[in-house]
Structure 1
Amino acid sequence: MRSWSAPDIVPLPGNGGPLRLHDTASDRVVTTEPGPRAGMYACGITPYDAAHLGHAFTYLAFDLVNRVWRDAGHDVDYVQNTTDIDDPLLERANATGEDWRDLAHREIDVFRADMAALRVLPPSSYVGVVESVGLIGELAARLRDTGSTYDLDGDLYFSAADAPRLGEIGHMDRAEMLELFGERGGDPERPGKKDPLDWLLWRAERPGEPAWDSPLGRGRPGWHIECSAIALDRLGPAFDLNGGGSDLIFPHHEMGAAETRCATGGPNAHAHLHVGMVGLHGEKMSKSQGNLVFVSKLRQEGVDPAVIRLAMLEHHYRTSWDWTEDEVPRAAARADRWRSALALGTGPEAEPVLAAVRAALAQDLDSPAALRAVDAWAEAALTQGGTDGGAPGLVRATVDTLLGVDLS
């Protein structure tokens, strides 16, 4: 599947240091230790509606990881999927009378445009589920051959009894998992299941639903196995970083990790990164709630994508927060101050700004601290002046390359 266009990256002098990130599974900040090539997987959208700010905030966090790793000298193999076949997509298509494929293609195009406008570095592999049905079916058959699955009216289920570490990523007990499973796409009450926490790997063909041939017969994938199969295919087992929004910890990432461990004997990733939720009026921003702020709509209203990005960077990626009417004016004022300082043509020396931004981002992607470092330089330039003619260029490059904000 086609990704989106990549922004130019301006090389910075020197190299950044190692990146430390909060690993959900160990619940501590750890030093990432990728080799020359870093492997990263982020769970993508289900394209039945345009991307909202909650999505954008998630992919902004992974974009910062990408930029920091690259600045430290690593090549980054970034994989992201898009769930272009799933129940919510079919339900929306049926409700609107639109072909599910047309709906998915249109919304994926909107998402691509939003990501390009926000200067999110594109994945090296942007992979749709439809194009991956074959390898997903092969993984489901591989799991069946381990004896960890069972058939229920033609559907293939993974047995939670064969996932002894289920709950370890999010530190959840069985009661917590049962409560969330029903809320987040699971079917704990389906008759005939051996355990309410057992999950669907392959859904047998139903009348009127799309289906594909597989070693398991005609049907389509369950949700969690999609990312497991794509990540194994593109990155292999035990890659450096896996994650998404914090609402994916359970069931999606727990169950995907169990599938990978069953198939390979090891973990799917060395570390797990999860991003806080963006809310509106005190509620998590979600399609089911209908309380969405769309990136595409903000852009249509004339909001500078750099301002949208700055508004999100003001919040640490692990913090849940509410979008308010003050976000755009506050971020626009910051962008104006920075641009005014750069327009002076000289300023205080900029090497300390580069060092401070690098240090902030290397410490668990502390983007608010990185913004404050640039704020301090801009304030000094505007109030005290400076004699370093190269400083504005280095500050501009720092902000562009590490924070992804275009100040041109």
Structure 2
Amino acid sequence: MLKIYNTLTREKEEFVPIEEGKVKMYVCGPTVYNYIHIGNARSTVAFDTVRRYLEYRGYDVAYISNFTDVDDKIIRTAKELDLTAQEVADKFIAAYHADTHALGVEKATHHPRVMENMPEIIDFISVLVKKGYAYEVEGDVYYRTRKFKDYGKLSDISIDELEVGASNRLTAQENNKKEDPLDFALWKSAKAEEISWESPWGAGRPGWHIECSVMATKYLGDTIDIHAGGQDLTFPHHENEIAQSEAKTGHPFAHYWMHNGFVTMDNEKMSKSIGNVVLVHDIIKQVDPQIVRFFMATTQYRRPISYNETTIEDAKANLSKIKTAYDNAMYRLKDAIEEEMDDQELLNQLTSFKENFIKEMDDDFNSANGITVVYEMAKAMNIYSERSVVSKVVLEAMLDQFQELVQIFGITFAATELLDETIEHLIEERNAARAAKNFQRSDEIRDQLKEEGIILDDTPQGTRWRRG
């Protein structure tokens, strides 16, 4: 039974989709004014892992993740780079796809952009105005926060708590325009030379919060199964999405709210003010992207993670163990026997691994415990691969299940390449040198191959190679 921790109820709940066998899932995407940082990547990887597990469990997942391509930061970047806002968005959306592809993230079912949904945004706001939940002042449109009686239910914050100091956070102009300091913008009137669209309230552009409400309901319907994003989005972004959406439709916006934990740098929260924000674009030039993916995917999504040299080295070592186990089993396929063997106990063990994996992952996608089961399976594969005689049936069953499980964490295995004539010759020469007890030459060849990225493994069944 799959259970999800629901931020809305603050407890784990059995997952029951709106439509049997299908999942409607919306994940807040980035504002595309720069390359994504590792905090953005944490959310992207965490919910890609959730999506992969849901699909592994047989669900058909409609996965929507947006791009905010209209924003003050994008406008500022456009001025700095002497580009249009759309050119800036196009540049960094392409960079997002390149960086997340390197991290093994599957593309969403749809990646809607704000600029492509402006008529729907204007229509959505118009409904809120007609229903009395929004009002226009000098070309700006604001949402009446107090009119939505359940405001604060997601973040567990009361209106009274929000009211304290709210007016102090606003400019005098904003205070003069708003009926209440707690009201938030749905539409912003255009400033000179800024990108804008015509609307019933004059030229302008949407506020941030309304965008996700519109795109989520457009692509998934008035009520969705899962809405997800970073922990920092709980308030005010997701709180405001609920208020807007439920005021318009009269239906619950999302049944399950999921929020991933923060990424810290050496146990210190990332902050532009102290300059410890690291871009994925830079990280993957220095670290194998699959290691970065593995590092993030194998921590339970709600837990914070610390990015530092030690945690990356640990991820590298653990990923290497998994790949080595796979390589060992693939290598033994060469001499595995076709005849049936009495290996039912091992096949039963595979069933046990799968059941344990599902049990752990069904507990709010506990990937830390799930990957522990994978490590246990890797150990069993290594032990079996060291047998003098192995069964092709068992090895293939092991490899199939192993790949099924690790792909949930975004791990892929490169196809084994044939040794070229030079490497074959060098390995043969090394074997001859070892037989002649010429260990100096044997070591020279090993070192030479290592420089070429080839690592040799001496096994009872012979010498094999793998890429380091």
CA contact (8 A) 1:353 1:395 kept: no
Q: 1:114 to 1:96 in 2, by over 3 A?
A: same
Amino acid aligned to 1:27: R
Distance, in Å, in 2 between the alignment partners of 1:213 and 1:278 is 40
For the residues of structure 1 that align with 2:161 and 2:59, how far apart are their CA atoms?
38
2:197 paired residue number:
212
State the shift of 1:289 in Å.
5.3
- Aligned residue for 2:15? 32
Q: Write out per-residue CA displacement over residues 336-364 of structure 1, whole angstroms, 9 at most, x where no aligned residue.
A: 11111122226965333332222222110
Paired residues for 1:117-128 under 5 Å: 117-128=102-113
In the alignment, residue 248 of structure 2 is paired with which amino acid? Answer: A
TM-score for both structures, normalised by structure 2: 0.77
1:301-347 deviation digits (Å, cap 9, x = unpaired): 2x222211111123221112321111221111111111111222269
1:165 to 141, 144, 150: 150
Change (3 A) 1:289 1:112: farther
2:327 is aligned to: 343
Structure 1, 173-182 or 163-172: larger mean CA deviation: 173-182
Q: Give distance in 1, aligned partners of 2:52 and 2:33.
A: 29
* Distance 1:363-1:263 versus aligned 2 partners, 3 A rule: same
**1:399 has 2:405 as partner:** yes
Partner SS for 1:46: coil
Q: How far, CA to CA, are the matches of 1:350 and 1:91 in structure 2?
A: 55
C-alpha spacing 1:107/1:277, structure 2 compared with 1 (3 Å): same
**Residue 370 to residue 87, structure 1, CA distance change in 2 (3 Å):** same
| CA–CA separation in structure 2 for the residues paired with 1:362 and 1:89 | 39
Q: Distance in 2 between matches of 1:253 and 1:154?
A: 25
TM-score (norm 1): 0.88
Q: Which has more radius of gyration?
A: 2
In 1, the alpha carbon distance for the partners of 2:358 and 2:69 equals 37
Indicate the residue corresponding to 1:5 in structure 2: none
Task: Check the 8 A contact 1:84/1:104 in 2, yes or no.
Answer: yes
> Residue 198 of structure 1 aligns with which residue?
183
* Distance change (3 Å), C-alpha of 1:314 and 1:65: closer
1:201-247 CA distance string (max 9 Å, x none)? 01112111110122333210001000001111111111100120010
Does residue 54 of the first structure (1) align with residue 29 of the second (2)?
A: no
Deviation for aligned residue 1:119: 1.9
Deviations 1:102-129 (A, max 9, x none): 2221111111112222222221111000
Alpha-carbon separation, structure 2, partners of 1:327 and 1:257: 37
Structure showing the higher helix proportion among its residues: 2
Residues 43-67 of structure 1: CA deviation (Å, up to 9, x unaligned): 1100111111111111222212212
Residues 1:361 and 2:344 are matched in the alignment: no
Change (3 A) 1:382 1:188: farther
Give the whole-Å Cα distance in 2 for the aligned partners of 1:390 and 1:377: 14
Structure 1 stretch displaced more, 64-73 or 232-241: 64-73
Greater alpha carbon shift after TM alignment, 88-97 vs 323-332: 88-97
Report how far residue 97 of structure 1 moved.
Answer: 3.7
* Partner Cα distance (2:167, 2:293) in 1: 34
Q: Return closer, same or farther for 1:178/1:333 CA change in 2, 3 Å cut-off.
A: farther
More moved, 154-163 vs 305-314: 305-314
C-alpha spacing 1:350/1:31, structure 2 compared with 1 (3 Å): same
Matched residue type, 2:327: A
Alpha-carbon displacement from aligned partner over 1:171-210 (angstroms, at most 9, x marks no partner): 1134654689899xx8576222222110000111211111
Percent identity reads 30
Give, as a single letter, the amino acid of the residue that structure 2 aligns with 1:19.
Answer: L
Q: State the match for 2:459 in structure 1.
A: none
Q: Does 1:267 align with 2:252?
A: yes
Q: Contact 1:180–1:250 (CA<8 Å) still a contact in 2? A: no
Q: Deviations 1:1-36 (Å, cap 9, x if unpaired)?
A: xxxxxxxxxxxxxxxxx4311100100111221223
Contact 2:85–2:195 at 8 Å: present in 1 too? no
Shift of 1:378: 2.1
Alignment of 1:61-76 (within 5 A): 61-76=46-61
Report the secondary structure of 1:157's partner residue.
strand
In structure 1, what is the Cα distance between the partners aligned to 2:30 and 2:292?
A: 19
Matches of 2:149 and 2:249, distance apart in 1: 15
Instruction: Check if 1:81 corresponds to 2:87.
Output: no
Residue type matched to 1:145 in 2?
K
Judge conservation of contact 2:374–2:402 (CA < 8 Å) in 1: no
Distance 1:403 1:282 in 2: 24
One-letter code aligned to 1:404? G
* Partner of residue 294, structure 1: 279
Aligned equivalents of 1:85, 1:138: Cα separation in 2 = 18
Any idea what SS the aligned residue of 2:226 has? strand
CA RMSD between the two structures: 2.4
Provide the rounded CA distance (Å) in 1 between the counterparts of 2:304 and 2:295: 14
Larger deviation: 38-47 or 83-92? 83-92
Aligned AA (1:253): H
1:19 equivalent to 2:25? Answer no
> What pairs up with 1:108-147 in 2 under 5 angstroms?
108-147=93-132
- Closer, same or farther in 2 for the Cα pair 1:58/1:90, shift >3 Å? same
* Matched residue, 1:316: 300
The letter of the residue matching 1:23 is: N
C-alpha separation in 2, matches of 1:281 and 1:293: 12
Q: Secondary structure at the match of 1:125?
A: coil
SS of the aligned residue for 1:61 comes to helix
TM-aligned CA deviation for residue 284 of structure 1: 2.8
